[in-house]
Amino acid sequence: MTSFRPEAVEGQAPPADSVHPRDSKNEAPTSVSRLNDTIRGFIERWGSVWVEGEITSFNRRGGNVFGRLKDLGSESTVAFRIWSSTLARLPKDFEVGDHVVACVKADYFPRTGDFSFAVSAMRHVGLGEQLERLERLRAQLRSEGLFDPARKKKLPFLPHCIGLITGENSDAEKDVYRNAELRWPQVRFRTRYAAVQGDRCVPETLAALKALDADPEVDVIVIARGGGDPQTLLGFSDERLVRAVAAASTPIVSAIGHENDRPLLDDVADVRASTPTDAAKRVVPDVSEQRALVAQLRARLTNRLTQRVLHDIAQLEQLRSRPVLRTPHSMLTARAQDIWMLATRGRDVVDRRLQSEERRTRELRASLRALSPEATLARGYAIAQVEGGGIVRDAAQAPAGTRVVVTVAEGAFGSSSTGPIGEADSPDDGGPADGRA
């Protein structure tokens, strides 16, 4: 403890360092240093205390741990520190939500006026009540399929209007605006402010969500806070809010906590962003990246088209260099010779076939003529026919007085039968008797 040596001057107020806090008054105030040193001396007399509570914050920095311990039956909390030398002797599985008993010693820093407890021992008692309740709700929602990736909606490539739910004038709001506008300057926002912790957090967030989800111009909704200890993030694990987000028709991005924070809203949202800055990067594309991509695609397209045109030109040149296209008339000349030879051969075949058929026709005609009745008539025979056209083959067919038509080689004439004649009546020259006129 610092020793103060007052050096009072007669007729003047005593120096502030010389006045003990319990003796201070309006005319003789004590100094901040004397007050802090007095407080430290009082606190040092407390010694070590065993305390039970729930870990609500457990952050590792530089090998040390800085956290907060919450009372199991109220909202009271205290800050604690675990130095690296003590941390090496403790179990390695402490985390937010653990129910613990710790041996702490009050520590006050006179220079800054900060007060906390240094932990010298800590052990598990059981799962913290809050964490246990949240884990039961998490398991229930998972069994209902609210965390199923298949039900999560895809974010639009370039939203025309972004709905933002966040605290008014918060760092999260500024981070989302700044990073989104840096990536796409023409981006538009429709912002609804809501309390991001405390009793008003859930009802105000639900009202903002309902309004933005009903707005037809809003393409995606971002709920942003920017981290905090689990105690302040409890509103974003409320069952009413979680179910409302699951039922929303607009894609929702959760940007509530940092990497080590995990409220239930992160599990049910369509996309979970680690920070508000990460949310802005996920919601809108980077205009410079898109321009570079377009330029790259145009270059690839130009290269492909150039290669295709050059390839086709080379193919045409190759085809043009072939003899059949370089001197196309040579192909026609060769084919004309083939056609002339085939035509000549065809004429010869046709002529030979005609001559053969003509000879066969003459032979058939001669055979037919030899067998024809006309040839018989030409040799002096005649055909006698009675009335009605019947041919006389028997002399009895033409009794005396029968009109007979006699056909000869050169025409026909009529005659009258004198009846059958005997052998003695035959002509003397021995010519044919039957059928002669």
What mean pLDDT comes out for the span 284-296?
89
Question: At residue 97, does pLDDT exceed 50?
Answer: yes
Report the alpha-carbon distance of residue 193 to residue 415 in Å, rounded.
144
Residue bearing tokens 């990246």: 289
**Banded pLDDT at 213 (limits 50, 70, 90):** very high
pLDDT in the model for residue 430: 46
pLDDT in the model for residue 435: 43
pLDDT tens-place string over residues 381-390: 888 888 887 8
pLDDT tens-place string over residues 363-386: 888 888 777 777 778 777 888 888
Question: At residue 31, does pLDDT exceed 60?
Answer: yes
pLDDT in the model for residue 436: 42
pLDDT tens-place string over residues 62-75: 889 999 999 888 88
Greater model confidence, 422 or 145: 145
**Banded pLDDT at 303 (limits 50, 70, 90):** very high
Greater model confidence, 186 or 114: 186
Question: At residue 299, does pLDDT exceed 90?
Answer: yes
Residue bearing tokens 């929602």: 141
Percent of the chain at pLDDT exceeding 70: 85
List the structure tokens of 419. 């009846």
pLDDT tens-place string over residues 418-433: 888 875 455 554 444 4
Q: What is the mean pLDDT of the chain?
A: 83
Report the alpha-carbon distance of residue 248 to residue 404 in Å, rounded.
125
**Banded pLDDT at 191 (limits 50, 70, 90):** very high
Question: At residue 348, does pLDDT exceed 80?
Answer: yes
What mean pLDDT comes out for the span 12-25?
64
Question: At residue 325, does pLDDT exceed 80?
Answer: no
pLDDT tens-place string over residues 168-182: 988 899 999 999 998
What mean pLDDT comes out for the span 38-57?
80
What mean pLDDT comes out for the span 269-287?
91
Using an 8 Å Cβ cutoff, are 103 and 117 in contact? Answer: no
What mean pLDDT comes out for the span 411-417?
86
What is the edge-to-edge ordering of all strands in the sheet holding 220-224?
Answer: 189-193, 162-166, 220-224, 252-255, 271-272
pLDDT in the model for residue 431: 45
Report the alpha-carbon distance of residue 29 to residue 15 in Å, rounded.
8
Question: At residue 347, does pLDDT exceed 90?
Answer: yes
pLDDT in the model for residue 46: 73
Greater model confidence, 128 or 409: 409
Percent of the chain at pLDDT exceeding 90: 34
Closest CA to 163 of 262, 249, 288: 249
